[in-house]
Structure 1
Amino acid sequence: MSHITHNEEMIHMTAIVYQTDNRSGITYAYESVSYWDKEKKQSRAKRTLIGRVDKETGEIVPTDGRNRKKQDLKPPVKCGLKTAEIVNRSFYGATYLLDAIGEKLGITLDLKRCFPDTYRQILSIAYYLILEDSTPL
């Protein structure tokens, strides 16, 4: 599978090159594009991995070279801004945040066990001291 293209004094030749990795024994298929380097005055080649060659069928299985198959029909990952399909914005007060922290750390449960009748008032005083640090109680 090769073709020759003439572009402004440049001759490009494309071929599929097979190379076996000696460590793993896996044969990989590369697309090799040959071109003439005017500065070095010699032929050069740029290779791009196509995939690995299946030992049984001889078919080329697309891969990225790290033994992972390429995802079919997935668009390439693009950098930049991404748009969200579903946007949800909720507003909660500072006490909601402090309640969530108290629940997660277990402080609320400990206060409830030690002071079952007054734990809410204790939390309320603690929230006031945290949120209104410059105001006397």
Structure 2
Amino acid sequence: MKKFQQIDDLIIYPNTKSTIEVVPTDGYNGAHRYRVQLSTGFNSKKNTYDYVDKTTTIQFVQKNDDGSIIPGLQSEQLALILLDRVKKLNERYPSPYNDIQIEGLTMYLQACSDRVEERINRGVMGKLEK
């Protein structure tokens, strides 16, 4: 049984409690499996986000040292979902802050593509090599 561990420094502003956990025993200190507490949104009376006693798990693709693979999301898939979401929300509720989010996510995705291209060119893409 994999044991999740709270990440105290991953906090959604303006809340003070972490709602994100990882399984730290993946050889990467918890970079592959996340458990996230679900939210019902912002509570304007308390000036914080409200959460329910329910979670969802996000598994990223994990290539183990022995060559076995645990299927999961690619980081780029999650970023593309976020980019699509903020673009659609921006159509309904335009904001210069949304534009900044779109720019940041676009930059992230370009950096991911550049990294993949560089690793392909060096012949190490898909391998556990630097």
Higher helix share: 2
Structure-1-length-normalised TM-score: 0.24
Structure-2-length-normalised TM-score: 0.25
Higher strand share: 1
Structure with higher Rg: it is 1
Greater RCO structure (CA 8 Å; 6+ sep): 2
